[in-house]
Structure 1
Amino acid sequence: MKNTVSKDTIEKWLKGWSLSRQLPPPIAYKSGFKVEVGYPNQKTRYVFPTLNDDFIQLISSINDPWVYLKVCASSEEVKSQISGKWEIQPQGYMMSCSHSMNISDSSLHHDYQLEYESYNSTCVIKIMTKDGELASTGRLVLVNDLAVYDRIYTDNKHQRKGLATFLMKELEKIALSKGVVNNFLVATEAGKPLYQSLGWKIESWYTSIVIPGIKPGSKR
């Protein structure tokens, strides 16, 4: 798979990712970007458009746990560059959609209702049960001409009911209302088939590595 994600697109996506999580914006770091995340299990993240010398130098210079290095390359490519102290995370995929999603007319089942929130240029849609239980949720951040979809989630108990598809369509409506037609997200292996069915295409592998430490809350 050939990486077709530009550095400019990665910067916009990472800015949206940071806004969605109420984190500081990304800053340039050599040929990539850096975000000070500050979570117990993710202190910092570095993101690179390609597997290059800057990425490889970071691999050898970092010894602290919970610093994530992320790159548009396959896990097999990255695996050949790392030592045993690094742990490869499940394969991810950068995906885009520059046309209306392939979604036929859909409606939300009467057992569910929509809730909307917004913060930091982030629009949040929640699909709730009548009892107030969160069934599905997702976020959309508009960064210039790019619509960043983030934290798309459907509870296991509510899967296979079309909620994720309905959610994506509602998020798309927000982007279209602002005249934004270029959509972007990072998918997991599990989420990739859904997005592909909606007309999204894979632009690049997206691989993450980290030196694991003691998980927050664990006993030594």
Structure 2
Amino acid sequence: MKKEVSLDLIRKWLTGWSLSRELPLPIQYKSGFKVNVGYEKQKIRYVFTAVSDDFIQLAELVDGPWIYLKVCASPEELKDHLPKKWVIQPQGYMMSCLQPMNIPNNKLHDDYRLEFEQYNSTFVVRIVTKNGEPASIGRVVLVDDLAVYDRISTENNHKRKGLASFLMKELEKIALSKGISKNFLVATQEGKSLYESLGWEFHNFYTSIVIPSEISNF
């Protein structure tokens, strides 16, 4: 069952998302937020808590490619409000965890070692092989009382070895060491089942739309 998403929660999560990528911080845009991303295929992103009049008006107004509109709603809730120029992207899922994660205190296999890095309020944990080959990586960003988990990934040839779970435990330790136990992230369809197995709960849908350029393969 989906939960309400407050503007403050979006502000904290989007701040964490921006800090993780060393991008400009979000600024308020009407009833949502705007981030000047600056990527070739993501120039700007707007994020709204619901399919509001502001969201619908912006969807009518924007004509250029690679400007993303994102909303805490399912595709079914917004598709009747969209001009045909928009393309709905793969589904995202907002997820929260307000209790210790359900992860055993397993030891990292001897074939791997941990590396740590920090910039701004972002903490990076890497799992690499003894030869330094990247295996898994993730970030946790501390924003006020919220731990935002971001860019969690495992290389294909290192999957199904429990590395992602171990990584999440290490990231959680960092948040807890700073007195933060409220956790939040946005998951892909593939990641959702992993996080649910660790004790995370579905919070709300997170749906993205974009106008791709005519020369793209979308």
State the 1:82 CA deviation.
1.3
Q: Does 1:110 align with 2:110?
A: yes
Q: How far apart, in 1, do the equivalents of 2:22 and 2:79 lie?
A: 31
* Match in the other structure for 1:201: 201
Q: How far apart, in 2, do the equivalents of 1:180 and 1:214 lie?
A: 45
Q: How far apart, in 1, do the equivalents of 2:213 and 2:131 lie?
A: 39
Q: How far apart, in 2, do the equivalents of 1:143 and 1:89 lie?
A: 27
Query: What secondary structure, in the 3-state scheme, does the structure 1 residue paired with 2:199 have?
Result: coil
Amino acid aligned to 2:81: Q
Amino acid aligned to 1:183: N
State the 1:214 CA deviation.
5.5
Q: How far apart, in 2, do the equivalents of 1:215 and 1:114 lie?
A: 42
Percentage of identical aligned residues: 66
* Match in the other structure for 1:25: 25
* Match in the other structure for 1:101: 101
* Match in the other structure for 1:169: 169
Q: Which moved more, 1:79-88 or 1:198-207?
A: 79-88
Q: How far apart, in 1, do the equivalents of 2:11 and 2:214 lie?
A: 31
Does the 8 A contact of 2:42 with 2:67 survive in 1?
Answer: yes
Q: How far apart, in 1, do the equivalents of 2:203 and 2:80 lie?
A: 22
Amino acid aligned to 2:186: V
State the 1:102 CA deviation.
0.5
Amino acid aligned to 1:152: I
Kindly report which structure 2 residues correspond to 1:39-78, keeping only aligned pairs within 5 A, or say none. 39-78=39-78
Gaps in structure 1 of 5+ consecutive residues = none
State the 1:62 CA deviation.
0.1
Q: How far apart, in 1, do the equivalents of 2:180 and 2:193 lie?
A: 24
How many residues are matched? Answer: 217
Does the 8 A contact of 1:41 with 1:215 survive in 2?
Answer: no
Does the 8 A contact of 1:3 with 1:72 survive in 2?
Answer: no
Q: How far apart, in 2, do the equivalents of 1:173 and 1:106 lie?
A: 14
Q: How far apart, in 1, do the equivalents of 2:200 and 2:5 lie?
A: 14
State the 1:83 CA deviation.
2.2
Query: What secondary structure, in the 3-state scheme, does the structure 2 residue paired with 1:126 have?
Result: strand
State the 1:7 CA deviation.
1.0
RMSD, matched Cα: 1.3
Q: How far apart, in 2, do the equivalents of 1:215 and 1:175 lie?
A: 43
* Match in the other structure for 2:83: 83
Gaps in structure 2 of 5+ consecutive residues = none
Does the 8 A contact of 1:32 with 1:46 survive in 2?
Answer: yes
Q: How far apart, in 2, do the equivalents of 1:106 and 1:73 lie?
A: 37
TM-score with structure 1 setting the length = 0.96
